[in-house]
Structure 1
Amino acid sequence: MNQPNQLTIPAAPRVAVVLPCYKVTRHILGVIASIGPEVSAIFAVDDCCPDGSGKLVQAQCQDPRVTVVFHSENQGVGGAVMSGYRAAIEAGCDIIVKVDGDGQMDPALLPDFIAPIVSGEADYTKGNRFFDLEQIGQMPPMRLFGNAMLSLLTKLSSGYWNLFDPTNGYTAIHADAARHLPFHKISKRYFFETDMLFRLNTLHAVVVDVPMDASYGDEVSNLKISKIVTEFAFKHLRNFGKRVFYNYYLRNMSLASIQAPLGLLLFLFGSIYGGWHWYHSASMGQATPAGTVMLSALPILMGMQLLLAFLAQDIASVPRRPIHKNQRARRREVRHA
């Protein structure tokens, strides 16, 4: 006799919060106290904090959800988050939210970051402080300009053209996406958030922005802009080259795979050929022949058109199908096989 179909109600996801702790003794207890009941586990990662943030949490925090993870050596914010991810995955958590321990990030926004992942719209969510134009005035001018420039570079290097505010550290990720990340390769220091986006793109993970307000209090930033400009520029260039190779040559081939190198070659040929003949003619006091100008200009124009076509294809290739949904479906197929 056939059994009647029964409605299966999915269990609520188990949510974990990762708190990197480094010189946050003034704020960490308040941050933990403001984390709501929707969170099942909290992992405070003491990144060899000289102020003893982890020991403070152990001594004064009575929240049973809290586990303190200690680093014997300082690994940077990226290293602390990766340790928290590992601990959350081992604990069987489904969604992992990263919140800084300095009080900049409002834990009341946690449901907003979790919702797109629970609904199957995203694998990874991140904050965007530029969404509300009325609130942007709270951001220091230099930080506003720096974030705008970093956002442009990150779009190129990560391939997520639909995102902004790349250095925003308020993030959430599905455990099925997190466990496929190469933890040992992700940048451990201030390039961490940007490098995460690059790694997620190589997995074809879906990333969405979550609007949030900018908030700046008495927290102290350890970031020195003058020391990281060159480092960031090099790493963006490196990640862009890797992403193009992975997505357009190693894993897949398309028309864009031809447009990029051909466009670059034509543009360089036209620029070098034209530049050399212009210099030669100028040194001789002669006008550059019209034929030489055309032979230089045409490759430059064709090269620019091909590079723009590649860019359009790259923008249209932003991942749109969450990978954690595919993995859940495959696991159900295996169970029913």
Structure 2
Amino acid sequence: MSSESESPDLTRESGLNQLIEATSTGVFALCAAVTLVTTVAIFVTLVGPAIEFFSNVSVMDFLTGTAWSPNPAGGSLAFGIVPLIIGTLTVTIMAGFIAIPIGTLTAVYLSEYATGRIRAILKPMLEILAGVPTVIYGYFAFVYVTPALQATFFPNLGTFNALSASLMIGIMTIPMVSSISEDAMSAVPDRLRNASYGLGATKYEVSTSVVIPASVSGIVSSYILAISRAIGETMIVVVAMGSQANMPDVQSTLLGIPYIHPADVLLQDGATITVAMVNIAVSDLTGGTLPYKAMFALGLALFLITLLLNVVSDMIAKRYREVY
């Protein structure tokens, strides 16, 4: 009698199962390849006309110019991206001031405080908020938010302004922050919470000292994704902020340090990089002209900015990811 115990064979020998496994692997690999090829194709599409554009316009003039006028009426062409970057950063930063704290606190409430019934109501409502077309947000900002601000806090607010657009973009990106952050917080093992409760910690202390630090990689990733979404927003900015690139006045402090007053940007109209691209695309400029190629230069700049943000997000996620 043999003393060796026979281990059960757990492998699947069925030809059908092997075919299903191989097919699934191929489908998943194909989907990943489509994503990679699409990204590379977008980059290649932008690079060619952008190189032709920079052969006529200096890169330094493009990056440091303070006037943007690709289709002037009787004037000279100007391809300075600075006013577009200022408009883009203004909208993005103000939207972040709204979406990041509100979205994070909403995620903490859903993950740690809300009952199952309340979570079942609030979570779908957030998803509905994320599914509202952006043009509706822009229309709401133009028709309701701007008049309300003019009648209360900012009587000198322009009809088209960056403040209303920023508020709506911030509200639009709240579901992205709250949903991803809530998923990251829910993934924290309950044993960490129970250990803290066993040591006498309150729910607030557990939320702020245990859950948030343990899920910080997912939370920061949601921030980067929301910021990337705000940078690429177009319709809200077109409807509520306008489409004219304006360079705000640069002032100097007593020490000679230049700065731009926030009111000169927030309370006036302006344009972002995406709006400038739309203006060129819908204008009567023909393909092959220098202003037309400027659209691809703007697209390349926007592509590199969002790529940098995603790389930073991936680095932060890897650096602070917790493995349980």
Q: What is the TM-score when the length of structure 2 is the normalising length?
A: 0.22
Instruction: Tell me: higher relative CO, structure 1 or 2? Use CA pairs within 8 A at least 6 residues apart.
Output: 2
TM-score normalised by L of structure 1: 0.21
Larger proportion of helix = 2
